[in-house]
Amino acid sequence: MTQTIAVALTGASGMPYGLRLIDRLLAGGHRVWLLYSQVAQIVARQEMGLDLPSRPAEVQAVLRERFHDADGRLRVFGREEWFAPPASGSNPPDAMVVCPCTMGTLAAISAGLAGSLVERAADVAIKEGRKLILVPRETPFSAIHLENMLRLARLGVVILPPNPGFYHHPRGIDDLVDFVVARILDQLGVQHDLGPRWGEEPRDDG
Binding-site annotation, residues for FMN:
11-13, 37, 102-105, 137
Rounded Cα gap, residues 34 and 26, in angstroms:
12
- Are 160 and 183 within 8 A, CB to CB? yes
- Are 49 and 138 within 8 A, CB to CB? no
Closest Cα partner for 182 from 111, 123, 99? 99
Which residues contribute to the annotated binding site for dimethylallyl phosphate? 167, 183
**CB under 8 Å to 45, separation ≥6 — which residues?**
51, 52
Which residue type does 4 have? Answer: T
- Are 98 and 6 within 8 A, CB to CB? no
Which residues contribute to the annotated binding site? 11-13, 37, 102-105, 137, 167, 183
Rounded Cα gap, residues 45 and 123, in angstroms:
28
